[in-house]
Every structure is written in structure tokens, then in C-alpha cells.
Amino acid sequence: MAGFSLEESAPKILGVSVLVVAFIYIIYPPGLLLIPLTIFVFAFATKNEKTSSKNVDTFFSGFKIGGHRGAPKSFPENSMAGFAQAKADGADLIEFDVALTKDGKAVLMHDDDLDRTTDLKGPIRDKTRAELDRCNISATFIRTAPGDHSRLGSVSRERVPDMEDVVRWAVENNTRMLFDVKDSDNELVDQIANLFQKYNLYDKAIVCSFFPWVVYRIKKGDQQILTGLTWRLKFWSYHDIENLRPRYSGPKQLLFAAIDVLHVWLLKRVTPWYLGADLLLTNNLDISQTLILDQKRRGMRVAVWTVNDMAEMHWMLETLKVPILTDYPELTKQAAHLEEVKKSNYMPMHKSSSDL
Ligand SMILES: *[C@@H]1O[C@H](CO)[C@@H](O)[C@H](O)[C@H]1NC(C)=O
Ligand SMILES: *[C@@H]1O[C@H](CO)[C@@H](O)[C@H](O)[C@H]1NC(C)=O
């Protein structure tokens, strides 16, 4: 079942830590010096190794523009039609979200339930693959692609794709892949690792997650799999990128706000080293030249999600030279021809960003 839950564990971890420190302090105060030493030894003993740099270089040499869930303004997100459109629009990578059905089939779906993206309801974990086949992921979809009015309106029926079908398609069509994984379920992690072996995805795909323990487990299972840590400010304390919907209330919200500060501080310094991660998948509101240079110095790559504004695309692709994920892969061709945008005029816009 779903792995580690920070929500349940954070207060316990904090409580136990305080007790341990208090206990050591009472029986033998100098013993507190052993705590950092223990953490240090433990970290070295359990850390992951990084992937060989050859595969990392090959992967990133072919990744500039990623279709975020395909081409989600032209076709339903995470649909085969959307991936083909993203490629036709100039994307060299497709990003997708993986989930398991009740009968253990790995499929593509972003949310935990079917409500938003299909004409059925309920958690995906309660549906078998056969039941999922009855849902229509075009039913709630309306095209909003800019520029091309022939693309407006509804689209014909799309089904929830199998993870393996999408992987096979991407390999055949020479398109890189970014797997977005939200739980550390053994079964899902194993299925992803098997696909890496079966289709030799080691320089063609990367597995990313907001959850460090997912990145850790993937890399632990197969050191050659490229991995990335996805992040944004205040992820653990707010549901949404605008930071309007707190996840908790009262002291718990404060605890998770503190976890956020610590998490971001650590992920720029030690977390990727410990996880063996190759990429920091950074939100467009948190990107800067300094971050990119600093991470480069540490041997880390940086990519940006989700860049939908043309001037912003130009800035990322031409000035910062970082790969992007976008909902509008068709705009990237025009963006490349935009004139250099003066950095002083540049302000990232909240509305151009969506949840990963
Ligand atoms: C799926 O939804 C689309 C868009 O509303 C519709 O055109 C199509 O007929 C639906 N297909 C089925 C089989 O329900
Ligand atoms: C993807 O590859 C398949 C099989 O090689 C081919 O039939 C299809 O036309 C390709 N699609 C795109 C969008 O390139």
C-alpha cells in the first residue's frame, strides 16, 4: 500500500527526537555530541550512489521541451493522443503520472480519483483495469489550445493508457520520458524498474517525485535509473501553488511550515546527495540563475515546471538554457523567435503555473 506518510510521521518523529535528546541530556550531557556523529555515519552508510554521468548526459542532451501530461490543452492529459500531439508540437519529452489499479496494473492518471478527468467517480485504487476501460477521459475535457481554432471544441474518446503502452510508444518514437511518481508502493516501483530493464530506458527516461522516499526507493532498487526530486516552496504546508489552501490548521500547520523551510534548505544542499538524485525539478516561481549555477557546481541538473508563458519560455530556453515542462508545447517554436526579454521586465506569473 502507499508508503511513508509525512503527515502521520512528522509529529511522531519530532516527539521521539525531543525525548531522545532530553534523555541523553539528563543522563550524560556530553553524549549529545554523539547525535551528529550518528547521523553522519548513518547517512554515509545508507546513501545512494549517482548514476553514471554518461547516461545523464545522453538523457539531458535530448531534453529541452517536455509536454506536461502530454499536450493537455489540445487533448486530455495523460492520453495517447496528447503524447502524439506533444511530439508533433516539438516536445522531445513527455511527462506523465503513474498509478496502480485495484488489480495491480500500472496506468496513467494524475489524481488519486477519477472525478476530475473522467466521467466516472471514485479512487483509482478501487477500480480494476477492466472497469477503467469503461471511462472516457475525453468526457470532461475542453480544448483551449491558443492560436489554432481548428483545435477548439471536444475531442473523441480517449482511454486511460497502460504505462507500458506509453513507454513502448515513446521508445518507438524517440521521445524522452519523465515519470511522475506519487507513492512508493513496492509493486509500482518494481513495475517501473522492470520497464527500465525491458526497454533499456537508462538514457531515455527519468523518474521524479515530490517525495524523497520515492526517489530513494527507485534509486536503491536500480542505481542506473535516473531520478529527480520535484519541489516547490511550501509544498508540505499548502495544497496549491498560490499558497491559498493550507493543508492543516493550528500548530500542525506551523510544524509543516517549519518542515518546508528545512526541506528546501536541505534539498539545495544535501538531500540530492543522499538520494543519489540527478535532477532538481524546480517550479517556475522558484527558478533563478543563482540556483542553476549553484546546482551545476554540485553536479546537479535543473529543469523547470510548468512554463506556459511565451516570454518565460524564451527566458528559460534561450537565456537560462534549462529544459522546461509546458502545457503548451506548440508555443515553444514561437518562443524561440521572441526577442531577448529584458530580465528587469521579467516577472513570473502565477497563472502560468499549475500543479505538477
Ligand atoms: C467521450 O467523450 C467525448 C467528448 O465529450 C464524446 O464526444 C464521446 O462520444 C464520448 N465517448 C463515449 C464512448 O462515451
Ligand atoms: C510512433 O511510432 C509508430 C511506430 O513506429 C508509428 O506508427 C507512429 O506513426 C509514430 N507516431 C508519431 C507521432 O511519430
DSSP 61-91: HT-SEEEETSSTTTS-TT-HHHHHHHHHTT-
143 lines ligand 1 (CB under 6 A): no
Q: How far away, in angstroms, is 173 Cα from ligand 2 center?
A: 6
Report the C-alpha gap between 148 and 128 in whole angstroms.
Answer: 37
Mean pLDDT by 10 residues, the chain (356 residues): 75 92 93 91 94 94 97 95 96 97 96 93 96 92 71 78 98 98 90 98 98 95 97 96 94 95 97 97 96 96 96 93 96 78 47 53
Report the C-alpha gap between 313 and 306 in whole angstroms.
Answer: 10
The total number of residues written for the chain in this structure: 356
pLDDT score at 22:
94
Report the C-alpha gap between 31 and 280 in whole angstroms.
Answer: 36
Out of 74, 85, 173, mutate this one to test ligand 2's pocket (max ligand atoms within 8 Å of CB): namely: 173
Residue ranges of domains in the chain, CATH in brackets? 12-46 (no CATH), 53-231+268-348 (3.20.20.190)
- State the first-to-last Cα distance of the chain, in angstroms, to the nearest integer: 22
Which residues are paired to 326 by β-bridges?
67
140 lines ligand 1 (CB under 6 A): no
pLDDT score at 151:
58
pLDDT score at 336:
77
pLDDT score at 353:
45
- Of all helices (H) and strands (E), which one includes residue 177? strand 176-181
pLDDT score at 1:
43
Out of 119, 137, 156, mutate this one to test ligand 1's pocket (max ligand atoms within 8 Å of CB): namely: 156
Q: Which ligand is nearest to the CA of 75?
A: 1
What residue has cell string 528559460? 316
128 lines ligand 1 (CB under 6 A): no
- What atom of ligand 1 comes closest to residue 155's alpha carbon? 4
Residues with CB under 6 A from ligand 2: 84, 87-88, 172-173
- Tell me if 118 sits within 8 A of 137, measured CB to CB: yes
What residue has cell string 548526459? 57
Helix 80-88 with 163-172: angle, nearest 10 deg: 20
- Of all helices (H) and strands (E), which one includes residue 97? strand 93-100
- What atom of ligand 1 comes closest to residue 138's alpha carbon? 2
Q: Which ligand is nearest to the CA of 138?
A: 1
157 lines ligand 1 (CB under 6 A): yes
pLDDT score at 2:
53
pLDDT score at 238:
96
Which three three-digit cell numbers place residue 158? 480517449
136 lines ligand 1 (CB under 6 A): yes
